[in-house]
Each structure stands twice: as C-alpha cells, then as structure tokens.
Structure 1
Amino acid sequence: PNENTLYYNFIRHVQGVDNNQTVFRNVGNLYADYSILPNLQFRSDLGLDLLFQNEDYYADRNTNAGENTNGYGDSRIVNIVNYTTNNYLTWDTQFAEDHKLTAVAGMSYQSSDRYLTFVSGTNFPTDSFTKLASAADITGGSTTQTVFRFLSYFSRANYTFKDRYLLSASARVDGSSRFGSNERYGFFPSISAGWIVSREEFMSDVDFLSFLKFRASYGLTGNANIGNFPSRGLYGGTGYAGLSGLSPSQTPNPDLKWERTAQYNFGLDFELVGDRISGEVDYYIKKTDDLLLNVNVPATSGFTSQLRNVGELENKGFEFVLNTHNLVGEFQWTSNFNIAFNSNKITDLDGQVITGGFLNRAVEGEPIAVMWGKEYAGVDPDNGDALYHLHSEDGKDYDAGTTNSYSEANDVVIGDPNPDFIGGLGNRFSYKNFDLNVLLQFVYGNDIYNGGGRYQSANGDFFDNQTKNQLNRWQEPGDITDVPEARLFGGNGSNPSSRYIHDASYLRLKNVVFGYTLPQSALDRLNLQRVRLYVSGLNLLTFTDYPGWDPEVNTDLYSQSNNLNIGNEFYSVPQARTISFGVNIGF
C-alpha cells in the first residue's frame, strides 16, 4: 500500500482490523382472556424483548489505530431488557336491534432498560493475541445505564346505528419518564363519525357504486420521541490529578412536556363495480404546538441550547389510495396506487431562529428545517471566480446583483428538504402457481444538501476523489461554466452554499418478488401443507437526477434526535441492492 497519501490508506484498515458483532435476541408474548360475562371480556398480555449484543474490536499495529500502541482492542457489551403489559376490559353489546355498542377501558405499561459495558486496551505481545486479557495496558473502561418508562390509561367506545351511522370516541392519558416532573402526563382525546351512504334506501338503485362511506374525525396525539433525560439537571463524573468530582452536563427543565398535534380529518371510502375498484380520499389539517426543539440559550449559562416546548407547526394535505382488480380469472392482476401531498409551515416560534443539521433552520413562516445560506450564482467568465447572489435585507429582492466575496453575500432560504408529494405503485400478478409482486416508490420536490460536496467538488481545495464535473472547470477568460477555476487550497466556491443543494426527486424499483408454489399433488407426496420458492430483489433500479450516491439517505453526522436534521448527506452509505432466495414450508 502507498504510504504517501494525504489521508490514511484505508486498505491497511481493511486488512488489519477485526470487528465482530454477535447478537442474541429473544422476543416473546403471553396473553390470557377471561369471559366475566357473556358480553364482558378481560384480556391481559405481556411482551418481553431481550437483546444481548457483544462487540469485539482489534486493530493491529499496521493500522492507524494500533501502530503507535502495539495494537489496540476493545470490547463492548450491550444488554437491553424491554417489556410491555396491557390489561383491558371489553364490553360488546347490541340492544333494540338497531344499536350496537363496544366499549374498552384499560392500561398499558412499558419499561426499557439499557446497560452498556466497555473496556479497551493497548500493547499486545503480538497481533496473534487479540483478546483484552493479553493487553499490557487497560486504557479505558466504563459502564452506563439508561431507562425510560411509559404508563398509559385509555378508553374507547364505538357506537353503530342501523349499520350505517357510526360514532367513536376515545380518551387516553399517557405518562412518560422523559418529561419534566411538573408535566409528566398528557391527555389525548379523539372523536370520529361515519356515514355509510351506500346502505341507505335511496342508493339501492345505484348499481355501479357498491360501497360509499363518508367520515370525519378530530383528535389529539402526543410526541415523546426525544432522549431519555432531557428534562433533568444532569451531572457527570470527572477527574483531575487523581481526584474525582462532578460537573454539570445539562440544565434542568421541569416544565418540559408532550408535543401535541391536533388533527382534523375528512375522508371517504368507495368501491365501484363490485369490488373491482376501491379507494380512499382524505384531507387533513394537523396543528402541532409545544414543539420539542433545542432552543438557543445565553452562553453565560454554561450551555448554548436547551430542549424546550416552543412554537407551533401546521401540516395539511391530501392522501389518495386506489386499488384495482385489473384482470380476474386464471391470470390475475391487481394494482395499488397511493399518493400523498403535504405542506407544512412553522406558524409561531416566539421569534426564535433555531439551527440544526448543516444548513437547516426553524424559522417562522417557513417549512420546518428549510436550508438557509448563500445562494450560488455560478462563475465569473472573466476571471473564474465563484459568484454569489446579493439580496435585499428581507431576502425578497433577487435582482440585487452578484459578488465574488462569500462573506458579502447575505443568507436566504436556498432549499427545502420537505417533498411536495410521495407515493407508491404496487402490482401483483398471478398465473396458476406463479406469482409476481412489483413495488415502485417515488418522492418529488425535496432538496438534499450534499455536505460532502465541498470536499468532492472542491476546485482543488481538497484532495478527496473529485466528481467528474470538475473537468468542466473555468480555464480561460470567456469560458461559460458553473464550475469555478481550480485553485490549490484557494477556497474558490467550496464554502457551503446552494451550489451543493440538489433536487432529490426519484423513482425507485423498490422491491420485486417472484414466487412459485408447489402444486397439491407434489405436496401430498411430501406430506406438506405448502411449499413456496421465491426470489426477491430490493432497491433494483433508481431513476433520479440527484448526483450523489443515494437520494433516499440521511447523514448520521448529527444526532437523529435532532428533528431539524432533514435532507442532509455526508458520504452517507447508499442502500444496498439485495437479491434474496428463499423457501417457505408449511407443515
């Protein structure tokens, strides 16, 4: 391997590192039903999920991790115990012939404990001894534990009159250990109504319409998708000169509470020509308040941000589903098409501008996680300088000229990671004992910021492998191109800007499954109930103008709990194209 590369030669890493992971997992469920009365049932269930994961890592003395330490090794053990229990009563009754009522009341509880043990060592006698028992120096060790708990009480009632007028109401109280001591519980009610129009007498002569239902609903839901202890004032152990001590690591927020979303939904379900054509149409408005966001705080506090409830967000859109039986008989063909249009906007943020991800921000009046920065304007044909747009102070005047000074250009909205619509198209074909399933997936109108672009398309500023569009760089006065002149360490256009924001719309052949089921005569000879052979392909083809590796990925450079980290790529590993072969056997 060439030892004169600017970066560490990764071939040495591939050859000199062993990284083994072993996972044992057990998932089990147990339940009991008891009939208290003919129409009153009690059910209790318990679910247990146990995970034990062991990771052994060793880097020999030819790698950058072990070359100065005569080898480096570590061992990590993760143990997760997660269990849930649900207990509820169901009362199901019918009275006066036209009235049906089903009521449910109960509680649920979830507990999750995660334990981690880690130890590392250096100075191994030879690279043939890779276990930590052979390390002369134990250089690190730690144990950590994290937990979370959820406790919920819920009730629901469904009422039906004459099998065509429907009413449902529910209420639940959810508590989470993740929220502040003052706001641990949230109350989330909902109500819905439906009318099956096709069962009315005046619809009896409408032959082409076999089913039509109108429905409307309103409800509150809560979001607790945050870390386990964001409401607590946290301290961490530390040491100096052999003395132990404590240092604060997080400020407390005892008023941290559930993020709430109120949703209004109006929809209809239909079936045409028997059940040959069916579908759903929905319009919804979702208003979210008490957003869980990392808010900027004065650095004089010793911290720069704190997770708080702040602001309001609105989502609204249409969803459409269409199912068709295109061919029936010996050769069958069914299709499923779905598409969803959504737009969102932050309606209130208490005047805050919150940053996250690379260029993402939360700004009042804009969609969540819009990209904010300099707008790239191409290349000056006279000298090869990168150019940036100048805008008025409010960012609305796009005719304020250009500048070759990155610092002079003002910041405006330059991208939106939220798609205009998403959807999918599935087709299933069957003939005799053969079956074929094909799924297409599509996303349109979202932007991706390629954070690695300023290193991969850098005009000589960096030494990463360069994209081929660098061959189109400006080279002499009069050249018309959008790639600036290559200047060694010159920073000519390689700063973060809209230059590295791309349309990430795509159409993907997501999944194809082809199967063959053995005929009954063969099954009888084998004394089997069912045998199906299949081949499956995942991520087979992608059609996109996105110049990166995969338009469907997001970087893990920032914590995934940061809900502003949307639409970012930074050398993100593309999804694998996977071909699988299998057999399903039923006894």
Structure 2
Amino acid sequence: MNWLPYLKLRSSFGYNGNVYNGSAYLVANLSQVSALTNFNYGVITSAPNEELRWEKVKQTNIGLDWKLRKDRLTGTIEVYRKKGTDLIQEISIAPSSGFTTYRGNFAQTESKGLDLRMNSINITGAWGWSTYFIFSYVKEKVLDYTAQRTTLDIASDPAGTLYKGKPIYGLYSYRMARIDPANGDPIGYLGKAESKDYTSIINNTSVDSLIYHGSTRPLIHGSLANTFSYKGFSISANLLYRFKYFYRRQTVDLNYQNLFASNGIHQDINKAWKATGDETTTTVPSLVYLTNNNRSALYRYSQYTVEKADHIRLQDVRISYDFPATILKTAYLKNLGLYFYANNLGVIWKASKVSLDPDQQQSSFLNPKTFSFGIKCNL
C-alpha cells in the first residue's frame, strides 16, 4: 500500500529475575561497642531464611510499528502485562523466635499497560511544523501481600502503601464527617456512627473502612512537543502531563504544645476553626492546648488533606537560528547557529486549587528554572 509502506507486528515473552542483595542467613553486626566493657559485641540483625530466592517478573509484550507515506506519521503502540511473583517482603513472626519479622518471597503484583508514541510532520516547506506525542497508561494491582500494618500506618504513609486487591502505592484516609459547631472538634466515624472517641477511631477502624483515593503515582502520563520553523528560525515547546494520581498535603498540628515545640508552623493555622459558623467555611478543626495526638491524626489523615495531583507542566522551550549557507561561505564556516533554552518552566494547569507543585509538594526547595544561551559552529 502506497499510503502505508511500513507496518510491523512484534511480540515478546520472558522472565526477569531480581537479585536480593541481602543475606539469607543470620547476619551479625560487630560494629557495636559496649559502654560497660569497651569491647565490640555482635547483634543479630536479620532472621535466617535459607529458602529465599530471586524475585521473578513475567512479562508479555505485543507491539505495532507503522510509517505512513513520506514519514508524515510514524509511531508505535505497545500493550504489555507484567506479573511479579516471589517478591520479597517482611512478614511478622512470633517474638519468641528472637525476631519480630523476617524476609521471604511472599508478595505478588500485576501490571497492565499501554504505551503510544507518534511523530507527525504536519507542514513542510518554508514553514515547518512537527509534533511528537507520548501517551502511557498503566493499571496496577497487588495480588498478594501479607505484611501486617496498622490502619494508622496505612493512612499516614505519604508515599502510598501496598494492600491486597488494590493498586500499588494506594493512598487511604480516615473518614472525617464534619466539624462540631460547638467547639470545632473533628467528628469521625466509629463503624457507621459519628463519634469523637478518637482513640477508638484511630485504633479500631478497619482498613476496609478507610477511603481509598487512588494511586500516588500517575496512571496516565506522557508529553506533547511541537516544533515550528521558518527558514533558519525554529521554536519548540514540550508539555508534560500526569493524570489520575493523588497526594496528601502537609497541614497544621491541632495541638498547641506540638506546634510551638516544632521548628515551624503551617499556614493552615490561619484556617483553623475559632467560632461557631467557621465550620461552614473551613475544613481545619480547632486547635487545643492539651495534647491529643489521635484527635489531630483524624484530621491530618482524613480526606480533607488529600489533593488530586493531575497537572500539565511546561517542561522546556528552545529557540534557535541557523545562519544560511550563503553567509557562512564568506566566513569559512560549515555551519553557525544560536540557541536559547529554558527548562522546568512550571505548572500551567493543575486539578488542585492549592498552591503546591504536585510533584514537589513535600520538598523544602523547588527545582529551579534554568536558562541557557549558546553558539554552535563548525569550521
């Protein structure tokens, strides 16, 4: 076919093995020095497991490559499936054994995804326009994971956590019903009933009763780059997009004693409930003088501190000019060009209304914008 000169179907299947660099046997740390005897002594740091083996990843890929006439549109699309078995995890064992956990090949995960890459030549001639597009989608699931973690550990993990039957690195929250208009206390749920028994809420809420928001890693991501040219001038811009993921933002501690003992106070202190009626305009409960960490945890790890991380970022812009050959001949140059490049220009759209950068919301310092200018030539 003249309009489709190139079409290729390909497929692959295989296993990969990940080596565990730790030891399968008892490991003693001899670097300790006794304060009583001033002699070195050893500490057993890991439980033995002589059956420990490689992690295995089974992967199947099916891809299709194509090129249209004169390469006006080229691309590739690939679907894949990965299944990880014998994945190493820590599991709890009886403390009477001398250890509380040991490593074994117990976890399993599965990932399915699609990758699409396309390059198009939209306009040719004195004016030029080309586009490069990348799209990736992944769906992940934990098939088996037996580590025992408390509900608070799962809800308070900012990176997301593994939980059987859910995607990898899922984000979970306690259910906070509302703010008490009488005193600004957060009200949660104990079972299906509203409650302010914070100790019972934190300790007795089951994982299945938590709110599952989604993954802390983008399930959809990619980029769109366009290059425009006219004679020797060229300008290109690259947009990165990341969708379908969440993060938990930092907020204020609801205990005054903890606030003033810390090095800094979060700006959410200005949004805290102060009088009846504030509950209609804020989701931040009142601050209290007597320390109640469970009261604070209900709010800090509730759905009100979770934000959608979806965003589009202007990653880089490049402007260049190549001098025409007629000018270069008189200067004994093969080519001469000038360029200006700007990188990490910032977020141009995001789903959340808070001012945080979704990919750097935990960082003390943001990645800086960079600008460069250069000259390239060949004699």
TM over 0.5: yes
Compared CA separation, residues 291 and 470, structure 1 to 2 (3 A): same
1:504 aligns with 2:306: no
Residue 577 (structure 1) aligned with residue 369 (structure 2): yes
Structure 2: how far apart are the matches of 1:381 and 1:364?
Answer: 38
Shift of 1:471: 3.3
Query: What TM-score do you get using the length of structure 1 for normalisation?
Result: 0.54
How much does 1:530 deviate? 3.8
Aligned-partner SS, 1:465: coil
Does residue 448 of the first structure (1) align with residue 252 of the second (2)? Answer: no
The aligned residue for residue 43 of structure 2 is 247
Residue 335 of structure 1: aligned partner: 131
Q: Which amino acid aligns with 2:251?
A: G
Do 1:503 and 1:546's aligned partners in 2 also have CA atoms closer than 8 Å? no
Q: CA deviation at 1:373?
A: 4.6
Please list, as runs of the form range in 1=range in 2, the aligned pairs for 1:75-90 lying within 5 A after superposition. none
CA distance in 2, matches of 1:368, 1:348: 11
Aligned to 2:233: 434
Q: Match of 1:283, SS?
A: strand
Q: Gaps spanning 5+ residues in structure 1: where? A: 1-203, 392-399, 554-568
Calculate the TM-score normalised by the size of structure 2: 0.81
Structure 1: distance between partners of 2:373 and 2:95:
57
After superposition, the C-alpha distances for 1:500-521 in whole angstroms (9 at most, x for unaligned) are: 3221111111111222234435
Change (3 A) 1:388 1:258: same
- Pair 273,546 (structure 1): closer, same or farther in 2 beyond 3 Å: farther
Residue 233 of structure 1 corresponds to: 26
**Structure 1 Cα separation of the partners of residues 27 and 346 of structure 2:** 48
Picking from 322, 345, 354, the partner of 2:141 is 345
Q: Which amino acid aligns with 1:441?
A: L
Residues of 2 paired with 1:586 and 1:250: CA distance?
60
Determine if the alignment matches structure 1 residue 424 to structure 2 residue 219. Answer: no
Per-residue CA deviations over 1:68-99 (Å, capped at 9, x if unaligned) read xxxxxxxxxxxxxxxxxxxxxxxxxxxxxxxx
Paired amino acid for 1:580: S
Quote the Cα distance in structure 2 between the aligned partners of 1:211 and 1:405.
67
- Cα deviation 1:260-290 (Å, max 9, x = unaligned): 2112222322233442122222222211111
Report the Cα offset of residue 413 of structure 1. Answer: 4.5
Q: Is 1:383 the equivalent of 2:183?
A: yes
Provide the C-alpha distance between the structure 2 equivalents of 1:303 and 1:579, rounded to a whole number of angstroms: 54
2:107 aligns with 311
For 1:404, the equivalent position in structure 2 comes to 196
Distance 1:378-1:459 versus aligned 2 partners, 3 A rule? farther
Q: For each residue in 1:367-425, what CA deviation from the matched residue of structure 2 results, as whole angstroms up to 9, or x when unmatched?
A: 1222345223331233311122344xxxxxxxx23322332321425333133311111
Match of 1:550 among 351, 357, 366: 357
Q: How far apart in 2 are the matches of 1:390 and 1:522?
A: 80
TM-superposed deviation, 1:571: 4.4
Once the two structures are superposed, residues 332-387 of structure 1 have per-residue CA deviations (whole angstroms, 9 ceiling, x without a partner) of 111111212211111123x4446788264322111122234522333123331112
The Cα offsets for residues 429-458 of structure 1, whole Å up to 9 and x where unpaired, read as: 2222222221111111111123x4345xx4
Residue of structure 1 equivalent to 2:341: 536
**2:277 equivalent in structure 1:** 478
- Relative to structure 1, the CA distance from residue 379 to residue 430 in structure 2 (aligned partners, 3 Å threshold; closer, same or farther) is same
Q: More strand per residue: 1 or 2?
A: 1
Residue pair 1:376, 1:497 contacting (<8 A) in 2 also: no
Say which SS state the counterpart of residue 362 (structure 1) adopts: coil
Q: What SS does structure 2 have at the residue aligned with 1:216?
A: strand
Letter of the aligned partner of 2:321 in structure 1?
Answer: Y
| Cα distance between partner residues in 1 of 2:363 and 2:346 | 20
- Measured after TM superposition, the shift of residue 584 of structure 1 is 3.5
Q: Distance in 2 between matches of 1:308 and 1:533?
A: 57
Q: Secondary structure of the residue that 1:462 maps to in structure 2?
A: helix
Q: Measured at CA, do residues 308 and 242 of structure 1 come closer, stay the same or move farther in structure 2, by a change above 3 Å?
A: same
Amino acid paired to 2:275: E
Conservation of the 8 A alpha-carbon contact between 1:353 and 1:363:
no
Amino acid at match of 1:322: M
- Report deviation, 1:484: 1.0
2:74 maps to which residue?
Answer: 278
Larger Rg: 1
Aligned equivalent of 2:212: 414
Q: How far apart, in 1, do the equivalents of 2:112 and 2:94 lie? A: 35
Question: In structure 1, what is the Cα distance between the partners aligned to 2:196 and 2:120?
Answer: 57
| Greater RCO structure (CA 8 Å; 6+ sep) | 2
**2 CA distance for matches of 1:268 and 1:501?**
39
Shift of 1:549: 3.6
Matches within 5 A, 1:559-574: 570-574=362-366
Percent identity reads 27
Secondary structure of 1:579's aligned partner? strand
SS of the residue 2:226 aligns to: strand
Partners of 2:316 and 2:344 within 8 A in 1: yes
User: Residues of 1 paired with 2:51 and 2:376: CA distance?
Assistant: 52
- Is the contact between residue 532 and residue 584 of structure 1 (CA under 8 Å) also seen in structure 2? yes
Report the Cα offset of residue 316 of structure 1.
Answer: 0.9
CA contact (8 A) 1:512 1:536 kept: yes
Q: Does the 8 Å CA contact 2:223/2:241 hold for their aligned counterparts?
A: yes
Q: Which amino acid aligns with 1:362?
A: L
Q: CA 1:413–1:540 in 2, change beyond 3 Å: closer, same or farther?
A: same
> Paired residues, what number?
352
Please tell me the residue identity of whatever aligns with 1:538.
Answer: N
Check the 8 A contact 1:505/1:546 in 2, yes or no.
no
1:320 aligns with 2:116: yes
Tell me the secondary structure at the aligned position of residue 290 of structure 1: strand
Task: Write the distance in 1 (CA, Å) between the matches of 2:74 and 2:178.
Answer: 50
What is the one-letter code of the residue matched to 1:220? Answer: Y
Output the CA distance in 2 between the equivalents of 1:431 and 1:343. 42
Structure 2 residue 266 is the aligned partner of structure 1 residue 462: no
Structure (1/2) with the larger helix percentage = 2
